[in-house]
């Protein structure tokens, strides 16, 4: 049996300004996702978890907690953008141009806006991306810029795995 190495993500050297990464996984948001995330974060706005209340709003149904949308779309981008992150430096210009509802499926993509050397850390570089999340109908529901420190090739911590064959 041939063991093939899995995707390890991009390192600083792999990013080029203008590259666009279509993130591979979509995610359908459930009522449970929305309720749990809202309650875990102590968001008391009933529009997220009280269906009777939400029916009386102009939306007629619960809105998905917008911080869940930020977290979900950020998570979708990890495979392509921050698998080898040293640290996130910030999220900027977060915009929510359309609501997300329970039952929507969210997809995302990121574009590399900037790539530069770190002045203080020779083992990493600074990368800025613009990430866009959109629903099953192609409607953009979130955009943001994220800046992060990404390890240079050969500088990320080693992942040590003990396989059954090693025992």
Domains of the chain: 12-153 (3.10.129.10)
> Residue 2: its pLDDT value, please?
79
> Residue 87: its pLDDT value, please?
96
Res 145 pLDDT > 90: yes
> Residue 133: its pLDDT value, please?
98
> Residue 162: its pLDDT value, please?
79
Closest CA to 48 of 127, 125, 101, 118: 101
- Count CB-CB contacts under 10 A for residue 140: 13
Q: What angle do CA 145, 158, 112 make, to 5 degrees?
A: 20
State whether the Cα torsion 3-8-14-19 is positive or negative: positive
Specify the pTM: 0.91
Per-residue pLDDT of 10-37, as tens digits, reads 999 999 999 999 999 999 999 999 999 9
> Residue 15: its pLDDT value, please?
97
> Residue 161: its pLDDT value, please?
75
């Amino acid at each position: 049996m041939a063991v093939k190495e899995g995707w390890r993500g991009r390192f600083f050297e792999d990013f080029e300004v203008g590259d666009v990464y279509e993130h591979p996984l979509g995610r359908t948001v459930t009522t449970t996702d929305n309720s749990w995330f809202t309650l875990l974060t102590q968001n008391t706005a009933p529009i997220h978890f009280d269906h009777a209340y939400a029916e009386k709003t102009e939306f007629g149904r619960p809105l998905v907690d917008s911080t869940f949308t930020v977290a979900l779309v950020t998570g979708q981008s990890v495979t392509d953008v921050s698998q080898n992150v040293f640290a996130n430096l910030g999220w900027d210009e977060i915009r929510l141009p359309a609501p997300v509802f329970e039952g929507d499926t969210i997809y995302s993509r990121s574009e590399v806006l900037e790539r530069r050397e770190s002045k203080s850390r020779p083992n990493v570089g600074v990368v800025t991306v613009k990430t866009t999340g959109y629903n099953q109908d192609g409607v953009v529901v979130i955009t943001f810029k994220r800046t992060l420190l990404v390890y240079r090739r050969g500088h990320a911590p080693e992942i040590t795995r003990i396989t059954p064959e090693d025992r």
